[in-house]
Amino acid sequence: MGKIAVIALGGNALLRDNQVGTIEEQEQNTTETLENIVFLLREGYDLVLTHGNGPQVGNILMRNDAGEQLYGIAQMPLDICVADSQGGIGYMIERMLHNVLHRHGIRRKVVTLVTEVVVDPEDSAFQQPEKRIGKIYSREEAERLSREKGWIFKEEIKEDLSGWRRVVPSPGPKRVLNAEIVEELARRGHIVIAAGGGGIPVYFDQEGMVRPSEAVIDKDLASSLLASTIGADEFYILTDVPYVFLNYKKKNQQIVEFLDRVDSLRYLEKGMFGKGNMAPKILAAVKFVENGGEKSVITEATKLEDKKYGTKITLHYDDNR
């Protein structure tokens, strides 16, 4: 069997911070990102792609809100919004990838799977919701929505805009439903797009019925779990920096090219990775190698093929030699 690589597309892979978010912008960004994974196909890898959905699902929530206020259209719950984003983003990646493969003369099938991910309804995250989603509201709007819908808000302070933003739980992923189908398709040589936005969070009730959960799952942790479940060999997290830095954007920042499990966890405990951005990626990378993966790589999409870039995380330092 050939090697399987799981590639988590995130950061500026789909939408840049300074962009409006038009479909033309997203398609161009996606195409540029996908061009950088062609070398893995030429080297014989089978690929599974995952992706984030932060800006896109935020826009869906805003359309929800505007539709209700202006036209009385019923709002959809968060799980439906995540599913919508999986379908839309998955379609975009699938179409752009078909075109990239065509230009390079590579014959592979591409398929997108709407993916549910099981979470524990007793996860402590449900008692401490912290993941910010959607737009910024005024205090009055936040108080009204809190009364009417039971939403929880936290204050948001930015340079250009301040107010209140909805927060939801972000429980840890426990199981990726239909992971065996992802593996089967990948091992047949098909490129699979799955677990978009961390997956749609669901749980099983006492009768064994699948129920939705008003939460979001970290994309990198879900991707790591999927990679481990399907027996992937390598796990790539594409972000907006070519390396992982210790003490990022501080005077004593330092590039790290190689990390093992012990040092990664030690640096995490000391808070030397950004809590809201790099720390979850490091944790996801470590979990993958703990569960048998050969290596995790965190880098920027355009640097992926050049092996001198990227932070490589393995179980032991000797594994990098």
Catalytic residue at 251? Answer: no
Q: How far apart are CA 64 and CA 54, in angstroms?
A: 15
Q: How far apart are CA 9 and CA 197, in angstroms?
A: 10
Count the neighbouring beta carbons within 10 Å of the beta carbon of residue 37. Answer: 22
Which residue segments constitute the domains of the chain, with CATH numbers given?
A: 4-121+173-320 (3.40.1160.10), 129-168 (no CATH)
Catalytic residue at 58? Answer: no
Q: Which of 10, 281, 287, 293 is catalytic?
A: 281
Q: Which of 29, 52, 131, 293 is catalytic?
A: 131
- Give mean pLDDT in consecutive 10-residue pieces for the chain, a chain of 321 residues: 92 77 92 96 97 88 90 95 96 98 98 98 95 88 92 86 91 98 98 97 98 96 98 96 90 93 96 86 98 96 90 88 54
Cβ contact 180:36 at 8 Å: no
259-301 per-position pLDDT tens digit: 999 999 999 999 999 777 899 999 999 999 999 999 999 999 8
Catalytic residue at 219? Answer: yes
Catalytic residue at 11? Answer: yes
Q: Which of 64, 219, 293, 295 is catalytic?
A: 219
What pLDDT, on the 0 to 100 scale, is given for residue 106? 97
Q: What residue type is assigned to position 18 of the chain?
A: N
Q: How many CA atoms lie within 13 A of 16 on its CB side?
A: 11
| Mean of pLDDT over the chain | 93
